[in-house]
Amino acid sequence: MITVDGNDASGTPGPSGDTPDPLVALTGVSKSYGNVRALRDVSLEVHAGEITCVLGDNGAGKSTLIKIIAGLHPHDAGGYTIEGEQVRHSSPRQALDRGIATVYQDLAVVPLMPVWRNFFLGSEPTRGRGPLRRLDVAQMRATTHQALLRMGIDLRDVDQAIGTLSGGERQCVAIARAVHFGAKVLVLDEPTAALGVKQSGMVLKYVAAARDAGLGVVLITHNPHHAYLVGDRFVLLKRGAMSGSHLKEDITLDGLTREMAGGSELDELTHELSRSRKTGTMDGDAATSDAAPATPAPAAPEPTPHADPADPETTA
């Protein structure tokens, strides 16, 4: 919590103002699998201390985009630069070495392992040499506790199996891990899908904390409400192509929601629905709730339950 407050001041006013190069920039990126054109001509920018949201319905190409950024698949056409340098990844390890950490929705953790073992999995610190080379258990435990604390997660026991944590907490541990291991760009794949309102708020808060720590964040979601709470830039995908790209100051939540649901199609749908229900309620309301089909509780203006002054939206 203290960290969120402290970094807020330095985080908001256009960080690292002297370097114009974005951390990650995609320009006109395309990807085909055989004759299926999964992604066509998509561009986006990720800056340090900012959150770029990628919005789209199912099948819009969000997962293809994430796979390209994370290095699981190379792109076919277009440019992919990291801090101004052209790259083409052929494995997730390469992307990881360049500071791009991806947190997948399901792949984040090994449920039966304790939190501290999960935290250091794949990058375990050791001490001693030869046959006595062993895990530095004390340091691993302490570091896990501190790193989580810095993100505002205060675990009672880092020895508990991570599967006993809630879905939101697990996402947060995965985010804290990426931050601790020096990621420059954090790619989050639907971190709030399948979470309740309260838990979503918690995850968004840690996403904002990562941003305030100076990371560039790519937030993939199909929930415009969550995106608008924390996002600085919005890229909308539709059927594999980019259907819009906005800065936060250029668009309202309603505008974003409408555009995501596909402006004219939505008008048509609203029209149809109001005809079937003669006593059509407020048009605006119907539009909003229809536009976010996968949101269980569509109007969630304040999902962070224990709201404190340093909430994400105040920085916008």
Partner 1 sequence: MSALDVIGTGDERLAPRSVARRLLGRPELGAVVGAAAVFLFFSVVADSFLRASSMGTVLYASSTIGIMAVPVALLMIGGEFDLSAGVMVTSSALVSSMFSFQMTANTWVGVGVSLLVTLALGAFNGIMLVRTKLPSFIITLGTFLMLTGLNLGLTKLISGTVATKSISDMQGFPTCRDLFASHWTVGSVDLQVTILWWLGLVVVATWVLLRTRAGNWIFAAGGNADAARAVGVPVARTKVGLYMAVAFCAWISGQHLLFSFDVVQSGEGVGNEFLYIIAAVIGGCLMTGGYGSAIGSAVGAFIFGMASKGIVYAQWNPDWFQFFLGAMLLLATLLNAWVRKRAEASK
Interface residues with partner 1 (CB under 8 A)? Answer: 1, 92-93, 96, 102, 104, 107-113, 117, 120-124, 126, 133-135, 137, 152-157, 160-161, 163-164, 166, 168-169, 172, 198-199, 202, 305-306
In the complex, least distance from residue 266 CB atom to partner 1, rounded to whole angstroms: 35
SS3 274: helix
112 vs 297, beta carbon nearer partner 1: 112
In the complex, least distance from residue 136 CB atom to partner 1, rounded to whole angstroms: 10
In the complex, least distance from residue 153 CB atom to partner 1, rounded to whole angstroms: 5
92 vs 262, beta carbon nearer partner 1: 92
User: How buried is 302 (Cβ within 10 angstroms: 0-12 exposed, 13-18 middle, 19+ buried)?
Assistant: exposed
Neighbours of 258 (CB within 10 A): 19
The answer for residues whose C-beta is within 8 angstroms of residue 4's C-beta and 6 or more apart is 152, 205, 208, 209, 212, 310
In the complex, least distance from residue 7 CB atom to partner 1, rounded to whole angstroms: 17
Written as one letter, the residue type at 85 is: E
Query: For residues 103 and 190, what is the distance between their CA atoms, to the nearest angstrom?
Result: 9
Residue 271 CA: distances (Å) to CA of 218, 277, 281: 35, 10, 12
172 vs 186, beta carbon nearer partner 1: 172
| Cβ 92 vs Cβ 74: under 8 Å | no
124 vs 302, beta carbon nearer partner 1: 124
| Two tokens, residue 83 | 């801090």
In the complex, least distance from residue 312 CB atom to partner 1, rounded to whole angstroms: 14
97 vs 285, beta carbon nearer partner 1: 97
In the complex, least distance from residue 182 CB atom to partner 1, rounded to whole angstroms: 14
Could you tell me which of 209, 215, 217 has the C-alpha nearest to residue 315? Answer: 209
36 vs 132, beta carbon nearer partner 1: 132
